[in-house]
Amino acid sequence: MNYQPASDRYSTMQYRRCGKSGIQLPAISLGLWHNFGHVDVLENSRKILRLAFDNGITHFDLANNYGPPPGSAEENFGKILKEDFAGYRDELIISSKAGYTMWEGPYGDWGSKKYLVASLDQSLKRMGLDYVDIFYHHRPDPNTPLEETMAALDLIVRQGKALYAGISNYPAEEARKAIQILRQLGTPCLIHQPKYSMFVRWVEEGLLDVLEEEGVGCIPFSPLAQGLLTNKYLKGIPAGSRAAKAHGFLKEEEVTPARVQQIQQLNEIAVQRGQSLAQMALAWLLKDQRITSVLIGASSPEQLSDSLQCLKSKAFTSDELEKIEKILK
């Protein structure tokens, strides 16, 4: 069955300008960190990608190590891209990253020019692409000069292997330095991808201000705190959830009684607003105009559909925001 995207796919999505660039991103973007590896069911991954595009999600975010095993998310994405989206490449923003361990030895990790250039070449091969739209350095490297890492991003853009450069997980001052080096090189930084949610708020301590001042976009990952900000954990840890999986990133000890109580209290506000907790958590991030897009994961089409409903969210009242702050404190 050949895939035909929905003809009204651009009618319901909101698009936001990315910093001071010409790029607009959908308010909701799809991350392929989980649920797209060789351990996952390919047909389910395909359904999620189709549903995303049918709803105006034009941005798909990957990295060299996504899977498991590492590299498999890019391989599966490349396969689905070829079979379903071949005629739609120019409607898509596809990103990848390098910065975490990808292969053995000293050149398969961190931030050297050797690693970044080699890694992107591998990523392009896995996805069957000539270029990615955005290529990120995935995390700061304490041992490689920032100048070398940023020069690698600049080189990659000049080679035409990426259209834009981005950084991820950089704290405020290091981010500012990286952005300024890239600007001097002539390849402005398009976007920063930090971890940000109601439960993880370090970006509010300076990073968002830096991005605003420098004219750089912001796309938070883990906006639902690995699923904690969903109705899954209202009664503790359910079987089959991320906190119950051995290869998951959410640890069982993070789901404390105090955390569960917070989740329950936040859920009460969401219910009063006529939303699921996940929808409210996403809307809470998107209320800040400095946020370009929110990067969500999805393990099923149903989960993605639920998250997309956050776009219909009504504005928060000052009373609701105060209550939320009180719970989060």
Quick check: 245 pLDDT over 90?
no
On whether residue 117 sits in a domain, the answer given is yes
pLDDT for residue 1: 67
On whether residue 285 sits in a domain, the answer given is yes
pLDDT in tens, 132-148: 999 999 999 999 999 99
The CA distance from 81 to 85, in Å, is: 5
On whether residue 286 sits in a domain, the answer given is yes
pLDDT in tens, 187-202: 999 999 999 999 999 9
pLDDT for residue 237: 76
On whether residue 185 sits in a domain, the answer given is yes
On whether residue 100 sits in a domain, the answer given is yes
Q: How much is the average pLDDT of 118-129?
A: 98
pLDDT for residue 233: 85
pLDDT for residue 278: 97
Give the residue with greater pLDDT, 255 vs 150: 150
Q: What is the residue-averaged pLDDT of the chain?
A: 96
Tokens of 188: 């402005």
The CA distance from 197 to 129, in Å, is: 32
Q: How much is the average pLDDT of 249-270?
A: 90
Tokens of 100: 């975490």
On whether residue 309 sits in a domain, the answer given is yes
DSSP string, 95-140: EEEE-S--SSSTTSSTT-HHHHHHHHHHHHHHHT-S-EEEEEE-S-
On whether residue 44 sits in a domain, the answer given is yes
Structural domains in the chain (count): 1
Query: What's the whole-model pTM score?
Result: 0.96
CATH number, domain containing residue 118? 3.20.20.100
Q: For residue 142, how many other CB atoms are within 10 A of its CB?
A: 8
Tokens 């503790």 found at:
236
**Residue 181's Cα: distance from chain center in Å?**
24
On whether residue 184 sits in a domain, the answer given is yes
**HSE (side-chain half, CA atoms, 13 Å) at 164:** 21
| Whether the Cβ atoms of residue 59 and residue 88 lie closer than 8 Å to each other | no
Q: For residue 6, how many other CB atoms are within 10 A of its CB?
A: 14
Domain holding 99, by residue range, is 15-226+280-314
| Whether the Cβ atoms of residue 295 and residue 223 lie closer than 8 Å to each other | yes
pLDDT in tens, 168-193: 999 999 999 999 999 999 999 999 99
Quick check: 305 pLDDT over 90?
yes
